[in-house]
A and B are shown apart, each in its own frame.
Chain A
Amino acid sequence: MSAADVSIAPAERPLRHISARFLRSELRLIFGRRRNQAGMGILAVVPIIIAIAVKVSTPRPGRGPDFLSSITSNGLFVALAALSIELGLFLPLAVGTIAGDSVAGEANIGTLRYLLTVPVHRTRLLAVKLAAITIFSLVATVWVSLVGAVVGVALFGGGEMTLLSGTQIGMGSAVLRLAMATLYLGLCFASLGAIGLFISTLTEQPIGATIAVVIINVLSFILDSIPQLSWLHEWLPTHWWMSFGDVLRDPVAWGDLTRGLLTAAGYMLVFWLAAWARFSDKDVTG
């Protein structure tokens, strides 16, 4: 590849242009696929089911799991409850599917070879892939939040929101806090997507890469629940995900959120580099 690289290296602007166009086509592919659209539909089902289930059931006092018991007081809690339920499997699975497909999928159907004949540096290709995964992760999380918020507010109304600290905030700040939680989780899932991108360079079977991502996700949750491994917990990719609830404290507890974002950034960097190390001299067949 060195000969090709050297010859196109000075042409920075066209390359950037190619990258942007490449990213656009990548996103069109992701969001245009029927199976991905169906996946987004399933993601949206959870908040809808939550909202309807809470609406038709008679209110019972006492403690409910997570945010479920708060839904009747403010519809935005539908979004938060949906996020807390889907962060265990559904959202990581969605991101894992896209990430697992990113390189292995193209290798599998043979388009990767054609892609590389276009003068796209492999490093750039990986950068675009990670950007697309991150964007998908954010969009999927926002989608769940948005459906939850719309359905929730339609069924239960909005108004003042009671924070975990017992303080009440107005609807505007409540929406802002929901947006913060959504953004945080979207970036967390993107870090899992980076792991998926790396795995995707190891195989030509996208489904295998997706399963590996889900296994890593579940394994991380399992390890996180073993007290004897407490030294390991803060380094696990999923450990800080539940900290998204910290945006609902008064004042917002930034400590764990910051740690969570740093951990996510660390995973993204390391696994993107690992993907680069693997992909740069990978024989592309198919």
Chain B
Amino acid sequence: MQDEAMSIFEKSPALRWAVPAVTAVALVGGGSAVGALQASAGSGLPERSAAQLLVDVQKARLDGLSGTVVQKSDLGLPSLPGSGGSGGMASSDLTSLISGTHTMRVWFAGPDKARMALLGTLGESDVIRNGKDVWVWSSQDKTARHYVAPTSATLTGAAAKHSAAKQSATRPAAGMPGAADLPTSPQAAAEKALGAISASTVVTTSGTATVAGRSAYELVLTPKETTSLVAQVRVAIDGAEHVPLRVQVFAKKVSDPVFEVGFSAVDFARPDAAQFAFKAPPGTTVTEAKVTDARVSGAGDVATGKSRAVAPQPSSADMPKVVGEGWGAVMVVKMPAANAKTGASGSTGGAADKNLEQLTKIAALLPKVSGSWGSGHLMAGTAFSALLTDDGRLVVGAVTPEGLYAALAAR
């Protein structure tokens, strides 16, 4: 046998090169095909209507789970310094979630026992909720922040049910309120999407999908609003556990999802309690912080999480306002007065001023637009548009620029 094969190669030596070539193709192809095969495999799930699925999700009793969540976003943003997650190096900084691909490990064993670990290259940030204690740990700067959650109800009410701890602490920096709403777990994302269902949305099902090797139903939400940049939101719901496994947001402009968060591996066994125990290791800077109810439920989207440390709490007059509803909703934020004289703020400014300064600088590079509402600089991403007006208002929404202008005109 061997000699026979050898003699074939002997006769036509060029044929030998086919061996490594075929092997390489088989390995690459095989690696890619495993995913494709899983996706096309017959799920064997009985048919279910959109309404039934929604009920299933509401009724789902999640005892516990652990798994790996991969979040990808390609919001068509210009790459900002420090926004991280680009290239081979993954940042474990919680503020870096705004762009790129991120891998998180999650453990969940009831509303008051949850842990999320954001994996960076040689770094890790953890948000751990264990009863009343919420810890935010960063391996990179060796800090641990400790929060005492007021009551379980306040926290869970404010953010998504299953992932309160994760949510409140993983919102990216202020200044990008539209993007700050990015949910970080499938549960949170699905509930957010489902909450937006009203007369504004066409809800359909599109058969089944395979997520993390599990058969899942797919719920498709299509916005009716014409100014919306979102073409579709697809939510994959586990066929057995009725837990959302993946959320994908498709924009009208591009064919790949602009935002995707989903499990790449999931296990519905209740994780060990030891997973949620956190004790600040020696050499760690521990900060005690207090979560007030107002911050959790009221100030909400803009100033939660990491941004709390850098951005001052806006006064109530400067609170963000939401114009419009459903998919066409636009958030209008009055920038703090410091913004008016940026560039002059110099060294006296704190971190917040620096952020503002940076934002204004970036905005100056963006195309200038004007209309009956005034003038400003526009950033038109694939999934949302942002407009910084010259009179210091920041308008953000998952709508076309026209949608933003309309919102400004309506005020």
Contacts and interface: CB of A to CB of B under 8 A. Distances in A.
A242 B92 CA distance: 14
Q: Which of B19, B88, B105, B119 has the most CB of A within 10 A?
A: B88
Interface in B103-159: 103, 105, 117, 119, 121-124, 126, 137, 139-142, 144
Interface string A78-89: 000000100000
Contacts of B408: none
Contact of B123 (A5, A160, A164): A164
A230 B101 contact: yes
Contact of B283 (A6, A162, A227): A162
Interface string A256-286: 1000001000100111011011001100000
A186 B7 CA distance: 37
Q: Which of B31, B100, B139 has the most CB of A within 10 A?
A: B139
B9 A280 contact: yes
Interface in B65-119: 68, 79, 86-89, 100-101, 103, 105, 117, 119
A165 interface: yes
Contacts of A84: 122
A177 interface: no
Contacts of A61: 285
B44 interface: no
Contact of B281 (A166, A221, A233): A166
Given A73-B282, A162-B283, A227 B79 contact: yes
Contacts, number: 110
Contacts of B265: 255
A273 B19 contact: yes
B361 interface: no
B16 A280 contact: yes
Interface residues on A, range: 35 or more
B405 interface: no
B280 interface: yes
B251 to A, nearest CB: 18
A236 B121 CA distance: 16
The 7 residue pairs across chains A and B that have the minimum distance between CB atoms:
A224-B88, A273-B20, A225-B87, A277-B16, A274-B20, A164-B124, A245-B122
Interface of A: 2, 5-6, 9, 61-63, 66-67, 69-70, 72-73, 84, 160, 162, 164-168, 221, 224-227, 230, 233, 235, 239, 242, 245-246, 249, 253, 255-256, 262, 266, 269-271, 273-274, 276-277, 280-281
11 contacts: A9-B3, A61-B285, A73-B283, A168-B279, A225-B87, A225-B88, A227-B86, A262-B31, A270-B23, A274-B20, A280-B13
